[in-house]
């Protein structure tokens, strides 16, 4: 049966199927084993607008309800990232009296905290009550809700138009993206800007970062697909900028047609994506073949290490590790435990694979022979922190862009 694109109504062709997957943030208590929620993770590309998207939607209440555990403030890199951007907005788009900014997916308020301290009217929109409470404690005003057309209309009626609407790693998580874009249209001031950041499909494909595909990431954006989606909803893509966060992202800026000149970056991106073949189904099928090879190679390597008596630990219980561990068939027999700095995960089990999560203190008590780095996007930071592991003869196992030992 042909899937229909949520954005343009075109035909979506499947290119990669991860099979049965658990919810990526559902780190289990041991007593909860057998009570997990699973879904079918498969992705396809639209033959018309080239938007890459999942073929099965997971209920947004399951993903982002009260139990959603991710907090933006947990990363020093992200804290610095959001503070810099907030300061830029305060000095430009939000300079002057009467300005108003809305953040979609405000999480624990790390971005809007700086805006609030700048005495600018603001509103965060986030469906997770606990995250909203943390944000409120920082002086941030939050509406606990999902952002869609109805919500946006209500915000405009109450607060007036927004000069800036911002979203970080949120837009690609909204299967109902057309409604969200209609909401932006309803809420944004005539000369306002909509700025959002998302993981970049070009990097995912080029580096075979298959673990960037998991339940929360319903859409994977390119500049071409964003350009097309923006035009369908009355906007113009006026800028696109590469960012180093989350293993490679792009910051997109949308405005109403004719309000702002288009940065030359957009044309450069579009040309580069044509050369890379990002809108070509054949490119995505080749990517899928590399993913399948990585799965086979990683399983073989870990089995060989186990059978030769080598001790292996995982490092970084990320949401992404659910895709890797479940798709590759990893369990405690191959990876006995994963060390992670988040105390809330200690004593729990990784989704699907049921690998125990331990404190980083367990990593050196004693050191394993090898460490499988799930948090590869923080490789430099983690390897610097764990330099004694290397000094003692320990080796790191990476699986992007290919399976290798370093």
List the pLDDT tens digit at each of the 406 positions of the chain: 679 999 999 999 999 999 999 999 899 999 999 999 999 999 999 999 999 999 999 988 787 766 666 677 777 778 899 899 999 999 999 999 999 999 999 999 999 999 999 999 999 999 988 889 999 999 999 999 999 999 999 999 999 999 999 999 999 999 999 999 999 999 999 999 999 999 999 999 999 999 999 999 999 999 999 999 999 999 999 999 999 888 889 999 999 999 999 999 999 999 999 999 999 999 999 999 999 999 999 999 999 999 999 999 999 999 899 999 999 999 999 999 999 998 989 999 999 999 999 999 999 999 999 999 999 988 988 999 999 999 999 999 999 999 999 9
CA 140 to chain centre: 23
CATH domain 72-282 topology: Rossmann fold (3.40.50)
Q: Is the peptide bond before 397 cis (omega within 30 degrees of 0)?
A: no
Distance (Å, whole) CA 262 – CA 186: 22
Domain residue extents for the chain: 72-282
Note the pTM of the prediction, 2 decimals: 0.92
Contacts of 64 (CB under 8 A, 6+ apart): 127, 128, 146, 173
Sheet holding 395-398, edge to edge: 357-358, 338-339, 312-315, 370-373, 395-398, 404-405
Distance (Å, whole) CA 107 – CA 78: 12
Distance (Å, whole) CA 321 – CA 23: 11
Residue reference for tokens 């800036």? 164
Diameter of the chain measured on Cα atoms = 68
**DSSP assignment letter at 295:** H
Long-range contacts of 378-382 (CB under 8 A, 24+ apart): 378/77, 378/316, 381/77, 382/315, 382/316
């Amino acid at each position: 049966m042909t899937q229909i694109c949520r954005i343009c109504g075109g035909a979506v062709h499947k290119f990669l199927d991860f099979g049965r997957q658990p919810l990526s943030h559902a780190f289990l208590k041991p007593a909860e084993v057998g009570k997990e929620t699973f879904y079918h993770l498969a992705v396809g590309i639209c033959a018309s607008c080239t938007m890459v998207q999942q073929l099965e939607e997971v209920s947004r209440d399951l993903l982002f309800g009260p139990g959603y555990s991710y907090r933006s403030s947990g990363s020093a890199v992200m804290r610095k990232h959001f503070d810099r951007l907030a300061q830029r907005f305060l000095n430009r788009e939000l300079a002057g009296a009467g300005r108003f900014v809305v953040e979609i997916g405000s999480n624990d308020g790390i971005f809007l905290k700086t805006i609030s301290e700048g005495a600018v009217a603001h509103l965060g929109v986030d469906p997770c009550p606990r995250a909203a409470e943390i944000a409120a404690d920082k002086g941030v005003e939050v509406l606990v809700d999902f952002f869609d057309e109805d919500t946006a209309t209500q915000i405009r009626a109450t607060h007036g138009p927004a000069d800036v609407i911002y979203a970080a790693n949120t837009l690609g998580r909204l299967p109902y993206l057309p409604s969200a874009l209609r909401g932006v249209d309803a809420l944004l001031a005539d000369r306002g800007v909509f700025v959002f950041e998302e993981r970049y499909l070009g990097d995912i494909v080029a580096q075979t970062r298959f673990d960037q595909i998991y339940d929360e990431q319903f859409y994977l954006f390119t500049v071409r697909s964003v350009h097309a989606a923006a035009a369908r909803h009355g906007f113009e893509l006026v800028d696109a900028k590469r960012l180093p966060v989350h293993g490679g992202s792009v910051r997109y800026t949308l405005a109403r047609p004719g309000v702002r000149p288009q940065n030359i970056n957009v044309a450069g991106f579009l040309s580069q994506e044509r050369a890379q073949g990002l809108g070509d189904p054949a490119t995505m099928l080749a990517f899928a073949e590399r993913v399948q090879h990585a799965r086979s190679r990683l399983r073989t390597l870990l089995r060989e290490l186990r059978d030769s008596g080598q001790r292996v630990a995982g490092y970084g219980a990320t949401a992404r590790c659910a895709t890797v561990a479940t798709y590759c068939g990893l369990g405690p027999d191959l990876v006995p435990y994963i060390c992670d700095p988040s105390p809330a995960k200690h004593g729990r089990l990784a989704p699907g694979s049921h690998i125990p999560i331990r404190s980083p203190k367990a990593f050196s008590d004693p050191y394993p022979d090898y460490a499988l780095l799930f948090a590869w996007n923080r490789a430099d930071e983690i390897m610097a922190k764990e330099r004694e592991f290397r000094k003692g003869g320990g080796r790191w196992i990476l699986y992007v862009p290919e399976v290798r030992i370093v």
